[in-house]
Amino acid sequence: MGLIHETDYGTKPSASAKTVSLTIDGTKVEIAEGTSIMRAAMEAGIQVPKLCATDTLDAFGSCRLCLVEIQGRNGTPASCTTPVAEGLVVSTQTPRLKQLRRGVMELYISDHPLDCLTCAANGDCELQDMAGAVGLREVRYGYEGENHLGLAKDESNPYFTFDSSKCIACSRCVRACEETQGTFALTIEGRGFGSRVSAGAGETFLESDCVSCGACVQACPTATLTEKSVIEIGQPEHSVVTTCAYCGVGCAFKAEMRGEEVVRMVPYKDGKANRGHSCVKGRFAWGYATHKDRILNPMIRAKMTDPWREVSWDEALAYAASEFKRIQAKYGRNAVGGITSSRCTNEETYLVQKLVRAGFGNNNVDTCARVCHSPTGYGLSTTYGTSAGTQDFDSVEHADVVVVIGANPTDGHPVFASRLKKRLREGAKLIVIDPRRIDLVRTPHVAAAHHLPLRPGTNVAVLTAMAHVIVTEGLVDEAFVRANCDLAEFNRWAAFVAEERNSPEEVAKFAGVAVETIRAAARLYATGGNAAIYYGLGVTEHSQGSTAVMAIANLAMATGNIGRPGVGVNPLRGQNNVQGACDMGSFPHELSGYRHVSDDGARAMFENLWNVALDKEPGLRIPNMLDAAVNGTFKGLYIQGEDILQSDPDTHHVAAGLGAMECVIVQDLFLNETANYAHIFLPGSTFLEKDGTFTNAERRIQRVRKVMAPRNGMGDWEVTLAFAKALGFTMDYAHPGEVMDEIAAVTPTFKGVSYAKLDELGSIQWPCNDKAPEGTPVMHVGGFVRGKGRFMITEYVATDERVGPRFPLLLTTGRILSQYNVGAQTRRTANVVWHEEDRLEINPHDAEVRGIRDGDWVAVRSRAGETSLRALITDRVAAGVVYTTFHHPDTQANVVTTDYSDWATNCPEYKVTAVQCLPSNGPGAWQSRYREHAARSRRIAKPAEVAE
Ligand code: SF4
Ligand code: SF4
Ligand code: SF4
Ligand code: FES
């Protein structure tokens, strides 16, 4: 463990395969053509002083500190902007250069506060370092001249300060905001000596377009932009590389620590998913780990109306085991089940499904992927043979056309969005298919070529209409199809999509997209070069979610956009480890690696290893568990790290199911909404407190490393082991690494994975096996995993959820950048300054006819329930469509979502709910009742109450 110092080479590496030779300070250097002299020197171990250059940004050449002399050339060129050339003889340290550099530094220092000893950046300041490096000993101009030392600080951002008095106008922050983040929030105002960084005319950082990604803070070589946590806690002493626990991008971070206290999370340059970038959540929103609301002691209660009673781990686990044994003895083996968490590690998830299958003796295990990407698993395994996305994130750098459908990357997958926007600024074309005008449709320096604002629920029709255009206009990549796909299936599919009823002309009549837009989008996708599709829950969370995934897979096959960089079918996974939870066998019908429980060979392997007989019948899915609970046959549920009351559809039904059970065990960080219906609460630990792995949306397995001891005394994996032991089923592991060894032994796609290899390579994309010992960045190269790619018929069947006189509007839901999922973590951070409440987006026309003004309370009513929230009037949504987020339990958008679900996987149809919206006076009666109920259920008995 040490302070992991990443070398800054000053400029980016060159991708050229051609090398050139030169001499720098007498050393022979061979390096790729196109490399800067600065980088060539740095790679040879020769430090060149620099301030405006950093290797995450394009060279700028403004500070004049990196000057060099080149034999035979006049002047002193900047080494950061001068490329290497064959035979150059370069000197970086001559008396003339030293004098010039000292002069530059003198100017900087004469306008810089002399408070190094008390400055938060003391010891981590490049200006300070460079003053030392150039041997600055005096400032001849004195400190009395015109200066900027009196400028006020901007402390508006909750996570970092902007102290303009310390700014050296190097522009690294401005360039980071443009090049890395793609937000263009910062400018340099004024000229010459008057140049100042500004977040907008007269605006503070908080008021500006800044999305608080932290890229500028990281780029700043001085203390001008500094994390408030560094100011409060001090400079870090050591760091540990780990993985963000929020979204499926899977950004790698250095947790920079003082003892067991996190000072800051710094995006790791070697992180292959994020390449040194981050968003506000992973970068700054980790304070929930030490929030006062965290429950650190196990608690039990006989009835959910009783107050909680804190008990020892032994008592809680003995009680949990005795309750589950009692229930199974009384109601049968299948009356209990478990839910694994996509927020937990692969190892923890694997253990929970093992506990259920081997310890409970049934297959009643499911995971939150049920309610998000289960159609991805079904659709992609049916067509291609693998339940996962086909590319790595680097792939987007090779895309010429990008289709984003049912996803909002700038909010849901921000670091991927930044990489995508960069590619778009380089000239790639964008097609957005979404009912809402998401930011990507028009954002600084990016404009979609086509936006298809389709009616919620018509994805399959629109995708099939695009296929119609491709087939009928002769745009199919016949050579690819002939070589890689099942031809009989293709012919059947081609005849189907070519039918007139699938034409843009017919589909436009009900899908809300113009005929020409569908045609133009299809042509661009088929003929624009490398074309990649990225999709999200706006595709899967429908009654035809699996069909839409197959429609996407069909388009990629028909146009040959599969099996190489820059193309592919890419599900943007929501939670950090939703891919891993699926891989680990969290579904009731599948063992790890997607082997069906009825597969005798696979089952026998697990039976031998675990020394138990396994059930060959699939178990219950989450909705079936809740139905069975309401019907009185399902009585006990162990939920690790999920809040199904808030995240699952039709809240009233979820509450009824949970309320009907005799023993609900919730393991989580906080008393979440589901815990209001629980009898046993087992405190969980955060990603900072655990060892393990997460698998991100690109199948990338990455290490999660413990930086502090579990505050609750036990890691989540240890809790599962202890629960199993109390039930009489022993699982014996000394460390999560041993769990990974077992996963590798029983899961073909993980065969070559181990902690040692992960430490060596940094990360591995599965499949990792004898054929691909270092993993597989791009899948289906040279052929599909299933053999021949399979075209599937995608008949459009309109959802039963229809608008009508009672419910004339369609509600669709999504996320916002600053909040994450049910908000349990992010609501307990300063991120609430950006999103204090869920709002209802409503089109000006729909608002006007209902007499709704911006900010008014609106009752949203569906056939499932009613909730109230405040209106945000915007033409981002078309007339007839309303939209909200689901981050706050006070509004609980899922009170109104219905029990319709995907035909193949039961994934709920969150994205289409027919509603009526009318003005209201404030929170509805249900919300008030729920708040009272939640307050009652969260009571923790005082010691005196316990004694009674
Ligand atoms: S935090 Fe990010 S978005 Fe905000 S100004 Fe800095 S780089 Fe730009
Ligand atoms: S704020 Fe920092 S990065 Fe930006 S110009 Fe000033 S010194 Fe450079
Ligand atoms: S993009 Fe996702 S993984 Fe990366 S920092 Fe943000 S929340 Fe974390
Ligand atoms: S580092 Fe080269 S000009 Fe600033």
Residue to mutate (ligand 3; options 159, 180, 408, 415; most atoms within 8 A of CB)? 415
> pLDDT at position 107, please?
85
User: In angstroms, what is the span from residue 315 Cα to ligand 4's centroid?
Assistant: 64
Query: How far away, in angstroms, is 36 Cα from ligand 3 center?
Result: 31
Q: How far is the CA of 830 from the centre of ligand 3 (A)?
A: 16
- Mean pLDDT, the chain, integer: 92
Nearest-angstrom CA–CA distance, 320 and 314: 10
**Confidence at 312, pLDDT banded by 50, 70, 90:** very high
For residue 140, what are the CA distances in angstroms to 65, 103, 106, 144, 147? 18, 9, 7, 11, 15
**Residue 144 CB coordination number (10 Å):** 7
Q: Which of 272, 281, 576 has the most ligand 3 atoms within 8 A of CB, as the residue to mutate?
A: 281
Rg (CA), the chain: 29
**How far does residue 872's CA lie from ligand 1's centre (Å)?**
25
Ligand 4: which residues within 6 Å by Cβ?
A: 50-53, 61-66, 78, 80
- Taking alpha carbons only, the member of 152, 618, 604, 560 closest to residue 365 is 618
Tokens in use for 597?
């429980």
Instruction: Indicate whether this model's pTM tops 0.85.
Output: yes
Mean pLDDT of 308-319: 96
Q: Which ligand is nearest to the CA of 170?
A: 2
460-469 pLDDT per residue, tens: 999 999 999 9
**What's the number of CA atoms in the CB half-sphere (13 Å) around residue 624?**
19
pLDDT, one tens digit per residue, over 919-928 is: 998 887 777 8
Q: Whose CA is nearest to atom 2 of ligand 2?
A: 220
Give the pLDDT confidence score for residue 114 in this predicted structure.
81
Lowest mean pLDDT among 7-11, 105-109, 587-591: 105-109
Contact 215 CB / ligand 1 (< 6 Å): yes
The ligand whose atoms approach the alpha carbon of 415 most closely is 3
> Treating both helix axes as pointing N-terminal to C-terminal, what angle do 515-527 and 504-511 enclose, rounded to 10 degrees?
120
Which tokens belong to 720? Answer: 């599962």
Most ligand 3 atoms within 8 A of CB, residue of 278, 408, 578 to mutate: 278
**Which residue bears the tokens 């902690």?**
755
56 touches 219 (CB < 8 A): yes
> Which pLDDT tens digit goes with each residue over 185-238?
999 988 776 788 999 877 899 999 999 999 999 999 999 999 999 999 999 999
**Is 944 a residue whose pLDDT tops 60?**
no
pLDDT band at 148 (very low <50, low <70, confident <90, very high): low
182 lines ligand 1 (CB under 6 A): no
Pocket flag, ligand 1, residue 560 (CB < 6 Å)? no
Nearest-10 Cα torsion for 587, 592, 597, 601: 170
Q: What is the mean pLDDT of residues 468-489?
A: 97
Hey, is 810 helix, strand or coil? strand
Distance 257 CA to ligand 1 centre (A): 23
Tokens linked to 680: 């046993």
Q: What would the pLDDT profile of 647-682 be if each residue is shown by its tens digit?
A: 887 888 899 999 999 999 999 999 999 999 999 999
Ligand 4 atom with minimal separation from the 64 CA: 3
Burial of 1 (0-12, 13-18, 19+ CB in 10 A): exposed
What is the predicted pLDDT for the residue at 948?
Answer: 46
CA distances from 838 to 311, 627, 783, 815, 896 (A): 36, 29, 45, 10, 14
Model confidence over 392-445: pLDDT tens digits? 999 999 999 999 999 999 999 999 999 999 999 999 999 999 999 999 999 999
What is residue 761's three-state secondary structure?
helix
The backbone torsions φ and ψ at residue 877, rounded to the nearest 5 degrees and listed phi first, read: -105, 145
Q: Which of 170, 180, 195, 218 for a ligand 2 pocket mutation test, highest count of atoms within 8 Å of Cβ?
A: 170
Measured by CA distance, the residue closest to atom 3 of ligand 4 is 61
How far from the centroid of its chain's Cα atoms is residue 339's Cα?
21
Q: For residue 221, how far is its CA from the centre of ligand 4 (angstroms)? A: 12
In the chain, how many H helices and how many E strands? 30, 37
